Amino acid sequence: MLRLSPRTFVGVICVCLLVFQPCGESLADAKGMSEVDAVHLLIAYLRSQGYDTKEVPLLIDRMTGDSDNGFYDYDIHAPGPHDYLGHIGTYAVNAETGDIWDTGLCRRLDTTAIAPLENLIRDNIGLSKSDSKRLSKKKPPCLND
């Protein structure tokens, strides 16, 4: 059995995301934001909360559901001592607006620290502030629903 270090595993995941990006764009084509942008927003948010994603790479697993709910859903872990895999959280990124939700706590997160990146992505997909405000009312399915 092949055993990969956490860094190698994360590297393989990142390469797979880049190689198979067209598969992840089906939701983005309909809604506006690519999955790559959603992952960038999520990583930027976690960095703003003190996670050192350069020293301790994150394992970001895309969670798939039975229906297209307009969100990119992720389960995030980070390697710890003694091959322990610590759970960081479960998150959803609104594919239309870039809003980030903690689906474990079922609440929209304050992303003021990454607002410039959010605004850049929203500008790139042509989303106005009024549309963003209107579309931000949408809530993802939460773990406790």
* 64 dihedral zone (left: phi>0; alpha: psi -120 to 50; beta): beta
The tokens 């903690």 sit on which residue? 102
Q: Give me the helices (H) in 2-114, please.
A: 6-19, 21-31, 35-48
Q: What is the pLDDT of residues 29-38, one digit of tens each?
A: 444 789 999 9
In this structure, the number of other CB atoms found within 10 A of the CB of residue 34 comes to: 20
Radius of gyration of the chain (CA): 15
Q: What is the pLDDT of residues 21-31, one digit of tens each?
A: 444 443 434 44
Measured distance CA(98)–CA(104) in Å, rounded: 18
DSSP 3-23: ---HHHHHHHHHHHHHHTHHH
Token pair listed for 73: 């859903």
Identify which has the larger pLDDT, 11 or 124. Answer: 124
Is the pLDDT at 97 greater than 80? The verdict is yes
Token pair listed for 41: 């927003």
Whether 117 contacts 79, CB under 8 Å: no
Q: For the chain, give every domain's residue range.
A: 6-135
Claim: this prediction has a pTM higher than 0.75: no
Q: What is the pLDDT of residues 39-91, one digit of tens each?
A: 999 999 999 999 888 888 889 999 876 556 889 999 999 888 887 888 999 99
Which fold is adopted by the domain 6-135?
Nuclear Transport Factor 2; Chain: A, (3.10.450)
Element (H, E) at 85: strand 85-94
